[in-house]
Amino acid sequence: MGKFTLSSGGNKRTVSTNLSVTTSSASYDLAQIGVSGNTIRLANSGSTGLFYAIDDEAVTATTNDIYLPPNSVEYVNVQVGLNTNSVRVGYICAVGSTSLNITIGNEV
């Protein structure tokens, strides 16, 4: 991956969200963050792994989806022709709970 630059809101602050992940699948619409970009930074800041799925409509994650290990970061480029305002992230833990931080940016 190339260089990742953070997107910022109108006040030039970096905008992200921190989500609680449990054994019940949940979904987050990235348009709620309020900025767009071509890359999503996913950070699992807890000690339990999580699973995630990405789609351009409502998405339900399962434990068969992409695994994000504990205390790790992953960058996901958005499909060409879309931006993060039209993307949703589904997430779930197999056991326990953790935190998922999502930040929007651009790969340059």
Q: How many domains does the chain have?
A: 1
What band does 10 get if pLDDT is binned at 50, 70 and 90? low
Residue 25 has pLDDT above 90, yes or no: yes
Provide φ and ψ at 27, rounded to 5°.
-140, 145
In CATH, what number is assigned to the domain containing residue 45? 2.60.120.10
- The pLDDT assigned to 13 comes to 64
Above pLDDT 90, what percent of the chain? Answer: 57
At 63 the pLDDT is 97
To the nearest whole number, what is the mean pLDDT of the chain?
Answer: 88
- Mean per-residue pLDDT for 68-90? 83
pTM to 2 decimal places: 0.87
Residue 95: pLDDT over 60: yes
Give one word for 81, left, alpha or beta, with left for phi > 0 and alpha for psi -120 to 50: left
**What is the extent of the structural domain holding 90?**
4-107
pLDDT at 12: 59
Rounded CA-CA distance 31/58 in Å is 13
Provide the 3-class DSSP secondary structure of residue 86: helix
In sequence order, which residues have a C-beta less than 8 Å from that of residue 69 and are 6 or more positions away? Answer: 44, 49
Residue 74: pLDDT band (50, 70, 90) is: very high
Mean pLDDT of 15-40: 90
**Helical H segments across the chain, by residue range:** none
Distances (CA, A) of 38 to 14, 63, 67, 87: 15, 26, 21, 10
